[in-house]
C-alpha cells in the first residue's frame, strides 16, 4: 500500500521547498515583523517571489546578502550591519533572523551575534532591545522542508517571547500552519460563533491579504502582536491546526507551561470539523451553537445533492502533509476513492494517518511520503484518477494525463483568489466541494 | 542637484539625476547592502535564466532541494529539473558519490539527452568539492558531455554573475561543436540575449523572415544542442540584450570571425533601425518596403491609445540592457520617463539609458524596496514597469503597474509595440485607480464662493471678480486658494459679464462641486449644470453659507 520513493537517488521536479520559506510565512503573521534571511540573496529573493505569486501581495523579507567574502570568512559583519540597516529602513518591532543552508554550513553563530547586536543597540541608534525583538531561527534547509521551517519557527518565537503570568487569560491559542488567510478567517468565524475567546498566533490573514489604500505604510499594521504572543503562555489550550507545521510550538507550550495541546487534523470535511469543534468544546467548555449545526447541515445537504457526481470518482492528492491528510478524509466522505495520496514533505505520521482513513473506508490508495512530481506522475499513470487535487505544480501533470484539477494548498500561482478561499470548517469544505463537483462537471 | 529621496549613506552614489555629459552615472556592480530588501537575485538564478530553456539536456542542480525547487521556474515557466537533494549527512561526509549517481540516474530517466548541465549552489560552493572531476568521470562513463556550471549564489553581486558564468559554459561546451569544416550558411543569423518571452522571438523571426533571413540559433530562447553546435555557421550575430549577449558575441567573433550588431526590437524607431542595419548587412533590397508598410500599420493601430498616454509619467525598473530601448519606446508613445533603474546595470547600460532620457531623470542602481516605495509616493508616476516583486507594492499605493519582461503578449517588433501601447493604456486606464481615489475624494468637497470682501457672499456669478475656493470635509472647512478670472484686457472684446465671461468662470471652477453667489443668470446656471457645477444663490456671512452648503450637497 505505502510506496517508498524507491531506490532512486536523484530528485526529479521537487514539489516542496526549503525551511526559510516556512519561517518567513510564519514571521509575516507577526505585527511589525520583518524576516531577515541570513545568507545569499537568492534564498531570500526566491522566497519573496513565491509568496508574491501566491498571495499577490507585497512581501517584505530582507537578506544579509552574502557575497564571496562572507561565504568564506563568515557572515557576522553582514548580520550586524543588516540588522542596523533594517531598523533604519523600516523600524520593525520584530526581526526574525532566518538562517540558510549556507550560513549554517559555515557555522555562523547567529544566537551570539544577535546578543551582541542587542547589547550594542541599547546604547546607540535610538532603539532599545525593548522596542525591537530580534529572534534567531535555525532553518538549515538540507534538513527539512518549508513545513519544518514553519514548525521550527513556531517554537523558536514562543521560546523567546512568552511570559507566563499568574492568571489564565481564558483564551484558546490557535497555530494555523501553512494555510491560507481565507482558512484563518473561517476558523475565527467558528470561534466567534462558539463565543470562544481566542488568540491566533502568527496570523497572516490580514498581513498577506490587505486592501489597496494608497497610504504609505511600511509594514502591515495587522498580525499577532508581540504582546499577544507573550500572552500565549497563559491560555487554556493550544490547537495546532497542522500537526507538522506549528505542532512544535504547541508541544513547547504544553511541556513548559502545561497548556494542553491538540495537533490536527486539519478540519476539512464533516468528521474532521466535528472533531475540531469537540476539541474546542473540551478545552474551553463552550457548547456548539445552532448556527454551526446549520452550517453542518448545509454541507451535508450539498454532499447529498452532489453524491451522484462524486461517487466512485478516483482522486489523486498531493501537497503539504496536513492539507492532504485532512482532505483525503473529506474525499472519502464524498464517496470518492483516494487513488494516489502523496505528501511533498516526508512524514511517517502522514502515512499512518492516511492509512487509518483508508482502512476505515476500505480503500487501497498508493501512499507516498515525501515524493517528487515524478513519483506522483508515475503513480498516477499506474492507478489512474478522475481528478487531481494539488497546488499549482500539479497542473502540468493534470494536463498531461487529461484530468481536471482542483487547486489546493500552497502555492497556487496560476489562478487568482485561492488564498482568500477556505477549505476548513463546514463552510470551507462546502466551497471545496463545489469546486470539485464543478470541475468534474465542467470536464465531462 | 540630488534626488528628493531619503537614502542610506552607502546608497547615495547609486541614485543620481541624469546629466547629458555622461560623467555622473550611478555607482553600480557593488555588493548589496545587508538588511535592505533588494530586488536582486543570485548567480544561480542568473545561470538558470541563461540555460533553463535548452531543451535536450538534463539540468541537474547540485545542492539542497530548495534551490532546485525555485530554479525550476524561469520567466514564469516550469522546466524539468533534477536535484541531488543534499541532506545534512551529505554535507558533512561529502556528496561526490551522490552527485555521480544522480547524474547517472538522470541520464537514464531522460532518454535522448545530449548533455548534462550541473549547477553548483552555495553550499556546494563552500564545501570544496571537486565538481569538475566528478563531472569528468561521469562524462567518460556515460559518453556524453557533463558540464559543471560553477554558479553558487554568493558569486559576484547579483544574477549578472550567473549570466557571465553561463556564457562561458555555452562557449566552452556547446557553441560551434558541429562540423567545423561546413561553410557559413547564406542569409543566416544567431540572436544573442533573447529569451522568447510571450512570443517575442516569433515576432523577430517574422520580421527577419520578410528580409529573407533565417535564424540558426537563439541564445537561449530557442537553443537546442544541435542549433548551438551549428551556430558558428551564421553570417551575423544579432545582440538583442547586451548583458546576456555581448560577451558571447565578442567571443564568437574572435573564435569564428562572425561579425555582430547590437540592436533592439523594442519600439518603432529601434526596430526600424535594427532592420535597416541587418538589411544593409545582407544587402537586402526589401528592407525599406517592409519598414514602410509595417510602421504605417503600427502607427495606425496605436493611434486610438495615444491621447490617453500623452504626457503620462512612467518609471522603469528592470534588466539593465533593456532600460534604454524601453525608455525610448515609452517616449515614442508620448510618455515621459521619470526614472530608469535596474538591479544589475553596468556603466554602459546607465550611459545608454541616460542618453535616451531627459536631463534630471532619476537613474537608480539596485534600488531596494524602501527606495522604490518612496519613489512611488513622492514622485507618483502614472505607471511603474518592473518585475513581480515590485508589482503588488505599487498596487497598494494605487500606482498602475506593468510587468516586464511581459506576461500577456509579445512586445518585440512592430506588432509588439502595438501590444505595449494597448496594455499600457489598458492598465493605466483601468477604472480601479480612479475608484481607489474616489473614496477619499468623496468626503471632500470643493466649493467656490463669489466673494469680494472675504466675509460675505457679495457677487453675481457672471461678474464676479474673485472666487474663494474652500475644501469642506465632514468636520472641517479650509480655504485653499483665491481664483480670479482673467482681467478685462484679455477679454476686451466682450464685457466680462457677457457670454464669454460666464464660460471663462465655469472653466475656472471646473474642479468644484458648487459655487455660491448672490445671483446667476439663467443661461449661466444651465451651462454650469451641464459641466457638473451646481450654482447656489445665497447671501450673508460665509461661515453660515458654507455650513448650509455642506448640508445640502
Ligand atoms: S535550499 Fe538552502 S540554499 Fe537553497 S534556497 Fe533553500 S535555504 Fe537557500
Ligand atoms: S543557496 Fe545560493 S544558489 Fe541557492 S538559492 Fe540561495 S543564493 Fe541561490
- Within-domain flag for A126: yes
Query: Which of A14, A52, A55 has its CB closest to that of B83?
Result: A14
Task: Name all domains of chain B by residue range, CATH numbers in brackets.
Answer: 9-30+310-405 (3.40.50.1980), 43-173 (3.40.50.1980), 188-298 (3.40.50.1980), 438-552 (3.30.420.130)
Q: Which ligand is nearest to the CA of B162?
A: 2
- Within-domain flag for A6: no
Q: 27-46 in A: which are within 8 Å (CB) of B? A: 36, 39-43, 45-46
β-strands B188-194, B214-220: how paired?
parallel
- Within-domain flag for A315: yes
* Single residue among A233, A255, A290 that ends a domain in this structure: A290
- Answer yes or no: are the C-beta atoms of B136 and B28 closer than 8 Å: no
Does the CB atom of residue A46 touch ligand 2 within 6 A?
yes
Chain A residues within an 8 Å CB radius of B126: 71-72, 102, 105-106
Cβ-defined contact of A101 to B377 (cutoff 8 Å): no
Q: How far apart are CA A24 and CA A207, in angstroms?
A: 12
**Closest-CA residue of chain B to A51:** B389
**Closest-CA residue of chain B to A16:** B69
Q: How many residues are present in chain A?
A: 444
- Within-domain flag for A165: no
A25: domain CATH number?
A: 3.40.50.1980
Residues A340 and A244 in one domain: no
Inter-helix orientation angle A269-284/A321-333, to 10°? 120
Q: What is the pLDDT along chain B (553 residues), one digit of tens a residue?
A: 456 788 888 888 898 899 877 667 899 989 999 999 999 999 999 999 999 999 999 999 999 999 999 999 999 999 999 999 999 889 888 899 999 999 999 999 888 899 999 999 999 998 888 999 999 999 999 999 999 999 999 999 999 999 999 999 999 999 998 877 888 999 999 999 999 999 999 999 999 999 999 999 999 999 999 999 999 999 999 999 998 999 999 999 999 999 999 999 999 999 999 999 999 999 999 999 999 999 999 999 999 999 999 999 999 999 888 999 999 999 999 999 999 999 988 888 898 889 999 998 999 999 999 999 999 999 999 999 999 999 999 999 999 999 999 999 999 999 999 999 999 999 999 999 988 876 666 667 889 999 988 889 999 998 899 999 998 887 788 888 899 987 644 443 444 445 578 888 998 998 898 999 999 998 888 888 888 899 999 888 988 888 888 777 7
- Within-domain flag for A299: no
Distance from CA of A170 to the nearest CA of B (A): 37
Distance from CA of B163 to the nearest CA of A (A): 14
A85 to chain B, any CB pair closer than 8 A? The answer is yes
Q: 333-392 in A: which are within 8 Å (CB) of B? A: 374
- Answer yes or no: are the C-beta atoms of B524 and B539 closer than 8 Å: no
- Within-domain flag for A391: yes
A11 to chain B, any CB pair closer than 8 A? The answer is yes
Query: Which of B60, B64, B391 has its CB closest to that of A142?
Result: B64
Residues A309 and A280 in one domain: no
- Within-domain flag for A280: yes
Residue span of the structural domain in which A137 resides: 19-144
Q: 274-333 in A: which are within 8 Å (CB) of B? A: none
Residues A49 and A136 in one domain: yes
Q: What is the pTM of this model?
A: 0.89
Q: Which of A6, A7, A14 to mutate to test the interface with B (most CBs of B within 10 A)?
A: A14
**Whole-number pLDDT of residue B439:** 64
Q: Which of A24, A41, A87, A99 to mutate to test the interface with B (most CBs of B within 10 A)?
A: A41
Q: How many domains does chain A have?
A: 3
Chain B residues within an 8 Å CB radius of A74: none
- Answer yes or no: are the C-beta atoms of A341 and A354 closer than 8 Å: yes
Residues A366 and A321 in one domain: yes
DSSP of B222-258, one letter per residue? Answer: B--HHHHHHGGG-SEEEES-HHHHHHHHHHHHHHH--
Residues A312 and A432 in one domain: yes
β-strands B467-473, B476-483: how paired?
antiparallel
- Answer yes or no: are the C-beta atoms of B518 and B450 closer than 8 Å: yes
Q: How far apart are CA B411 and CA B419, in angstroms?
A: 6
**Closest-CA residue of chain B to A36:** B35
Confidence check on the interface: ipTM exceeds 0.90, yes or no: yes
Q: How many residues are present in chain B?
A: 553
- Answer yes or no: are the C-beta atoms of A45 and B38 closer than 8 Å: yes
Outline where DSSP puts E strands in B336-475. Answer: 336-342, 362-365, 383-386, 401-403, 445-450, 456-457, 467-473
Cβ-defined contact of A17 to B40 (cutoff 8 Å): no
- Within-domain flag for A154: no
Chain A residues within an 8 Å CB radius of B103: 10
Residues A51 and A113 in one domain: yes
Residues A277 and A385 in one domain: no
Cβ-defined contact of A45 to B389 (cutoff 8 Å): yes
Residues A323 and A240 in one domain: no
A60 to chain B, any CB pair closer than 8 A? The answer is yes
* Single residue among A103, A127, A144 that ends a domain in this structure: A144
Residues A280 and A381 in one domain: no
Does the CB atom of residue A102 touch ligand 2 within 6 A?
yes
Q: Which of A374, A405, A403 is nearest to A14 (CA)?
A: A374
Residues A261 and A206 in one domain: yes
Q: 190-249 in A: which are within 8 Å (CB) of B? A: 210, 212-216, 218
- Answer yes or no: are the C-beta atoms of B70 and A17 closer than 8 Å: yes
Which residues line the pocket of ligand 1, CB cutoff 6 A?
A 18, 20, 39, 43, 46, 100-102, 141; B 63-64, 66-67, 70, 121-122
CA of A213 to the centre of ligand 1 (A): 34
Chain B residues within an 8 Å CB radius of A10: 60, 82-85, 101-103, 105-106, 109
**Whole-number pLDDT of residue B475:** 75
Q: How far apart are CA B362 and CA B353, in angstroms?
A: 11
CA of B122 to the centre of ligand 2 (A): 5
Q: How far apart are CA A145 and CA A202, in angstroms?
A: 19
* Single residue among A264, A290, A316 that ends a domain in this structure: A290
Specify the residue with its C-alpha closest to ligand 1, atom 2. A101
Q: What are the start-end ranges of the H helices in A194-320?
A: 226-230, 247-257, 269-284, 290-310
Q: How far apart are CA B290 and CA B86, in angstroms?
A: 55
Chain B residues within an 8 Å CB radius of A72: 126
Q: How far apart are CA A443 and CA A280, in angstroms?
A: 39
Residues A50 and A83 in one domain: yes
Query: Which of A41, A53, A142 has its CB closest to that of B123?
Result: A142
Query: Which of B32, B37, B85 has its CB closest to that of A60?
Result: B37
Cβ-defined contact of A63 to B38 (cutoff 8 Å): yes
Residues A350 and A229 in one domain: no
Q: What is the pLDDT along chain A (444 residues), one digit of tens a residue?
A: 444 445 799 999 999 999 999 999 999 999 999 999 999 999 999 999 999 999 999 999 999 999 988 988 899 999 999 999 999 999 999 999 999 999 999 999 999 999 999 888 876 655 555 689 999 999 987 778 999 999 999 999 999 999 999 999 999 999 999 999 999 999 999 999 999 999 999 999 999 999 998 776 678 789 999 999 999 999 999 999 999 999 999 999 999 999 999 999 999 999 999 999 999 999 999 999 999 999 999 999 999 999 999 999 999 999 999 999 999 999 999 999 999 999 999 999 999 999 999 999 999 999 999 999 999 999 999 999 999 999 999 999 999 999 999 999 999 999 999 999 999 999 999 999 999 999 999 998
CA of B48 to the centre of ligand 1 (A): 15
Query: Which of B43, B80, B101 has its CB closest to that of A9?
Result: B101
Tell me the backbone φ, ψ of residue B392, rounded to 5 degrees: -75, -25
Q: What are the start-end ranges of the H helices in B110-158?
A: 122-127, 131-142
* Cα B367 to the center of its chain, rounded Å: 14
DSSP of A369-411, one letter per residue? Answer: ES--HHHHHHHHHHH--SEEEE-GGGHHHHHHHT--EEE-SS-
Amino acid at each position: 500500500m505505502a510506496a517508498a520513493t524507491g531506490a532512486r537517488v536523484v530528485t526529479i521536479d521537487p514539489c516542496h521547498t526549503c525551511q526559510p520559506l516556512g519561517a518567513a510565512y510564519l514571521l509575516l503573521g507577526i505585527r511589525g515583523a520583518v524576516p531577515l534571511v541570513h545568507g545569499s540573496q537568492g534564498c531570500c529573493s526566491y522566497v519573496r517571489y513565491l509568496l508574491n505569486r501566491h498571495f499577490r501581495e507585497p512581501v517584505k523579507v530582507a537578506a544579509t546578502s552574502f557575497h564571496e567574502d562572507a561565504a568564506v570568512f563568515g557572515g557576522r559583519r553582514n548580520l550586524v550591519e543588516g540588522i542596523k540597516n533594517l531598523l533604519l529602513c523600516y523600524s520593525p518591532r520584530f526581526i526574525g533572523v532566518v538562517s540558510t543552508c549556507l550560513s549554517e554550513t559555515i557555522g555562523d553563530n547567529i544566537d551570539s551575534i544577535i546578543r551582541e547586536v542587542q547589547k550594542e543597540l541599547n546604547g546607540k541608534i535610538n532603539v532599545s532591545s525593548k522596542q525591537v525583538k530580534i529572534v534567531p531561527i535555525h532553518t538549515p534547509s538540507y534538513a527539512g522542508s518549508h513545513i519544518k521551517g514553519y514548525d521550527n519557527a513556531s517554537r523558536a518565537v514562543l521560546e523567546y517571547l512568552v511570559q507566563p503570568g499568574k492568571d489564565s487569560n481564558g483564551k484558546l491559542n490557535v497555530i494555523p500552519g501553512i494555510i491560507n488567510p481565507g482558512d484563518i478567517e473561517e476558523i475565527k468565524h467558528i470561534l466567534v460563533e462558539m463565543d470562544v475567546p481566542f488568540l491566533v498566533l502568527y496570523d497572516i490573514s490580514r498581513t498577506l491579504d490587505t486592501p489597496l489604500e494608497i497610504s504609505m505604510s511600511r509594514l502591515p499594521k495587522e498580525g499577532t502582536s508581540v504582546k499577544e504572543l507573550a500572552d500565549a503562555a497563559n491560555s487554556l489550550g493550544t490547537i495546532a491546526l497542522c500537526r507538522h507545521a506549528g505542532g512544535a510550538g504547541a508541544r513547547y507550550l504544553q511541556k513548559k507551561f502545561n497548556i494542553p495541546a491538540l495537533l490536527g487534523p486539519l478540519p476539512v470535511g464533516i468528521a474532521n470539523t466535528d472533531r475540531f469543534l469537540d476539541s474546542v468544546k473540551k478545552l474551553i467548555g463552550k457548547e456548539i451553537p445552532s448556527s454551526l449545526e446549520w452550517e453542518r447541515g448545509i454541507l451535508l445537504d450539498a454532499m447529498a445533492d452532489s453524491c451522484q457526481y462524486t461517487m466512485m470518482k478516483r482522486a489523486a492528492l498531493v501537497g503539504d502533509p496536513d492539507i492532504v491528510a485532512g482532505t483525503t478524509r473529506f474525499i472519502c466522505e464524498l464517496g470518492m476513492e483516494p487513488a494516489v495520496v502523496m505528501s511533498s514533505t516526508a512524514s511517517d505520521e502522514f502515512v499512518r494517518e492516511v492509512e487509518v482513513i483508508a482502512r476505515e473506508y476500505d480503500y487501497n490508495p498508493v501512499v507516498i511520503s515525501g515524493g517528487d512530481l515524478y513519483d506522483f506522475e508515475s503513480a498516477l499513470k499506474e492507478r489512474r484518477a478522475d481528478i487531481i487535487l494539488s497546488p499549482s505544480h500539479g497542473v502540468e501533470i493534470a494536463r498531461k494525463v487529461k484530468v481536471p484539477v482542483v487547486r489546493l494548498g500552497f502555492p497556487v500561482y496560476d489562478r487568482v483568489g485561492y488564498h482568500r478561499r477556505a477549505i476548513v470548517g463546514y463552510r470551507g469544505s462546502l466551497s471545496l466541494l463545489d469546486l470539485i463537483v464543478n470541475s468534474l462537471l465542467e470536464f465531462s | 542637484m540630488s534626488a528628493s529621496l531619503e537614502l542610506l549613506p552607502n546608497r547615495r552614489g547609486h541614485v543620481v539625476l541624469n546629466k547629458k555629459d555622461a560623467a555622473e552615472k550611478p555607482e553600480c556592480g557593488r555588493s548589496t547592502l545587508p538588511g535592505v530588501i533588494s530586488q536582486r537575485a543570485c548567480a544561480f538564478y542568473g545561470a538558470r535564466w541563461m540555460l533553463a530553456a535548452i531543451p535536450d539536456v538534463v539540468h541537474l542542480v547540485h545542492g539542497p532541494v530548495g534551490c532546485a525547487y525555485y530554479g525550476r521556474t524561469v520567466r514564469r515557466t516550469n522546466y524539468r529539473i533534477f536535484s541531488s537533494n543534499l541532506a545534512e549527512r551529505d554535507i558533512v561526509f561529502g556528496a561526490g558519490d551522490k552527485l555521480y549517481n544522480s547524474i547517472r540516474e538522470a541520464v537514464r530517466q531522460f532518454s535522448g539527452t545530449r548533455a548534462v548541465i550541473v549547477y553548483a549552489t552555495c553550499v556546494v560552493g563552500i564545501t570544496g568539492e571537486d565538481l569538475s572531476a566528478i563531472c569528468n568521470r561521469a562524462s567518460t562513463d556515460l559518453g556524453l558531455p557533463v558540464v559543471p556550471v560553477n554558479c553558487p549564489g554568493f558569486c559576484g553581486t547579483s544574477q549578472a554573475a550567473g549570466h557571465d558564468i553561463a556564457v562561458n559554459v555555452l562557449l566552452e561546451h556547446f557553441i560551434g561543436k558541429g562540423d567545423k569544416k561546413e561553410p557559413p550558411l547564406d542569409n543566416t543569423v544567431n540572436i544573442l540575449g533573447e529569451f522568447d518571452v510571450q512570443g517575442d522571438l516569433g515576432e523577430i523571426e517574422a520580421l527577419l523572415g520578410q528580409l529573407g533571413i533565417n535564424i540558426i540559433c537563439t541564445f537561449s530562447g530557442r537553443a537546442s544542442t544541435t542549433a548551438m553546435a551549428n551556430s558558428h555557421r551564421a553570417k551575423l550575430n544579432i545582440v538583442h540584450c547586451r548583458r546576456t549577449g555581448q560577451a558571447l558575441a565578442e567571443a564568437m567573433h574572435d573564435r569564428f570571425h562572425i561579425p555582430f550588431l547590437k540592436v533592439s526590437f523594442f519600439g518603432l524607431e529601434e526596430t526600424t533601425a535594427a532592420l535597416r542595419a541587418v538589411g544593409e548587412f545582407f544587402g537586402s533590397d526589401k528592407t525599406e518596403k517592409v519598414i514602410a508598410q509595417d510602421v504605417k500599420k503600427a502607427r495606425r493601430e496605436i493611434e486610438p491609445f495615444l491621447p490617453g498616454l500623452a504626457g503620462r509619467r512612467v518609471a522603469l525598473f528592470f534588466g539593465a540592457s533593456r532600460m534604454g530601448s524601453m525608455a525610448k519606446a515609452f517616449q515614442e508613445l508620448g510618455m515621459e520617463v521619470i526614472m530608469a533603474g535596474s538591479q544589475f546595470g553596468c556603466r554602459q547600460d546607465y550611459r545608454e539609458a541616460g542618453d535616451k532620457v531627459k536631463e534630471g531623470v532619476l537613474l537608480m542602481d539596485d534600488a531596494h524596496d524602501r527606495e522604490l516605495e518612496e519613489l512611488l509616493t513622492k514622485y507618483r508616476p502614472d505607471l511603474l514597469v518592473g518585475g513581480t516583486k515590485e508589482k503588488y507594492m505599487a498596487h497598494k499605493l494605487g500606482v498602475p503597474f506593468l510587468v516586464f519582461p511581459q506576461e500577456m503578449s509579445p512586445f518585440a517588433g512592430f506588432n509588439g509595440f502595438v501590444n505595449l501601447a494597448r496594455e499600457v493604456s489598458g492598465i493605466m486606464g483601468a477604472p480601479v485607480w480612479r475608484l481607489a481615489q474616489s473614496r477619499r475624494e468623496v468626503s471632500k468637497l470643493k466649493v467656490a464662493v463669489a466673494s469680494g470682501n472675504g466675509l460675505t457672499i457679495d457677487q453675481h456669478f457672471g461678474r464676479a471678480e474673485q472666487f474663494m475656493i474652500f475644501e469642506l470635509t465632514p468636520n472641517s472647512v479650509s480655504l485653499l486658494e483665491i481664483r480670479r478670472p482673467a482681467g478685462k484686457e484679455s477679454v476686451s472684446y466682450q464685457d466680462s459679464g457677457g457670454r464669454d465671461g460666464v464660460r471663462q468662470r465655469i472653466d475656472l471652477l471646473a474642479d468644484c462641486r458648487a459655487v455660491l453667489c448672490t445671483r446667476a443668470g439663467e443661461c449661466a446656471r444651465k451651462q454650469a449644470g451641464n459641466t457638473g457645477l451646481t450654482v447656489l444663490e445665497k447671501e450673508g456671512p460665509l461661515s453660515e453659507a458654507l455650513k448650509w452648503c455642506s448640508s445640502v450637497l
